[in-house]
Amino acid sequence: MAHPSVTLAEYPFTPKTFRLPDGHRLSYLDEGNGPTVVMAHGNPSWSYLYRNVVAEFKSKYRCVVPDHLGCGFSDKPQDYPYRLQNHIDNFTALLDHLEIERCVLVVHDWGGAIGMGWAGQHPERVAGLVVLNTAAFHSSLIPQRIAICRWPVLGALLVRGLNGFALPATFMAVIKKMRPEIKAGFLAPYDSWANRVAVHRFVQDIPLQPSHPSWDTLTQVESSLDQLCDKPMFICWGGKDFCFNDHFYAEWQKRFPTAQCHYFSEAGHYVLEDALPEISDLLGPFLQSCLSS
C-alpha cells in the first residue's frame, strides 16, 4: 500500500521504502539526525503509534520506525506466513541495511517479541530499552475478546470482514477518547479485507501451546533476554490495559530489577495516547543518559 495522498493528523512524515530479500517492500520512518532510536509497534497499530515521539525527539535523534510487513504502508501480501520469526528477520534486515550499530530500542505490544528478538541476538548494538505495555516471554493469559478473534472462520469474519480488531482498539486501547482524526489515522492502512490480513495473522500467531509454529521462536526470544540484563531499561506502563495487564508489568520488573519503572494508573494499552506529556518528560533524560556517551 503506497503512502496516501490524504494528510493524516499529526503524521507529517514521508515514509521510506526498503525492499526485503524476498522482494516485499517494508515502509519505515527515518527522521532526524544524531544517535539512533528505533521503535517497534504492535498489532493493530503501525508507525503512527510513535508519531508524537518522533516529532518530539527528531531534533536530537535519528528516529527509525518500521511498519511490520502487512502493517501501515508496508506491502500486505495475502499468502505470506506472518510468523514471529518472519517479523524478526525483516526487522533485522532493515536495521542491517540502515547500518544501525547502536540504538535505544522502544517496543510496544507485538513489538516486544519482535524487537527483543533482534536485541537479544545483537546486545552489542543496544544502548538502552524502552518497554511500553508488551511482552517478550510466554504467557497463557489471553483475554476472551482476543481469543474469539482466533476462532476458525468466525475470527476472519470479525477481524478482516467487520474490522473487529483494529476498530475496537481505537476505543478499547485508550482511556481518553480519541479525537476522530486520530482514530482515522490509526485505521487508515486497514481499510479492506485484504489490507487487514496481518491484523488477523498476528492474532493467530499468539503461541499459547508448544505445538504452535511460533512457540519455539518465542522461547528463543525469552531466553535471549538474559543477554540484555545489563542494559538500561525504562518501563512506562498503562495500568488500565485489558491485555498486557499488571501480570506482565510484574514479570518485566522481575526480569529487569534495575529498570526505571513508571506506572500510569489512568492509562490504557496505547499508553502513548493516554500519558504522552508525562512520558515525553521522562523519556528525554533516559535517552540522553543512554546515547550521550
Q: What is the percent of the chain where pLDDT is above 90?
A: 85
- Within 10 angstroms of residue 100's Cβ, the number of other Cβ atoms is 17
Give, for 87, the enclosing helix (H) or strand (E). Answer: helix 84-97
C-alpha torsion sign, points 216, 98, 289, 274: negative
pLDDT in tens, 237-255: 999 998 899 999 999 999 9
Query: And the C-alpha cell for 9?
Result: 493528523
Quick check: 2 pLDDT over 50?
Answer: no
The torsion angle over the Cα atoms of residues 89, 95, 96 and 101, rounded to 10 degrees, is -130
CA distances from 153 to 49, 150, 157, 204 (A): 29, 9, 6, 12
pLDDT in tens, 48-88: 999 999 999 999 999 999 999 999 999 999 999 999 999 99
- Average pLDDT of the chain is 94
State the pLDDT at residue 3: 52
Of 24, 256, 275, the C-alpha closest to 119 is 256
Crossing angle of helices 111-119/84-97, nearest 10°? Answer: 60
CB-count burial class (<10 Å; 0-12, 13-18, 19+) for 80: middle
pLDDT band at 1 (very low <50, low <70, confident <90, very high): very low
pLDDT band at 147 (very low <50, low <70, confident <90, very high): low
Q: Give the global pTM.
A: 0.96
Each domain of the chain, given as residue ranges in start order, spans 16-291
State the pLDDT at residue 224: 98
3-state secondary structure of 51: helix
Quick check: 136 pLDDT over 70?
Answer: yes
Where would I find the H helices in 240-275?
A: 246-255, 271-274
- Within 10 angstroms of residue 161's Cβ, the number of other Cβ atoms is 13
Q: 16-291 belongs to which homologous superfamily?
A: Alpha/Beta hydrolase fold, catalytic domain (3.40.50.1820)
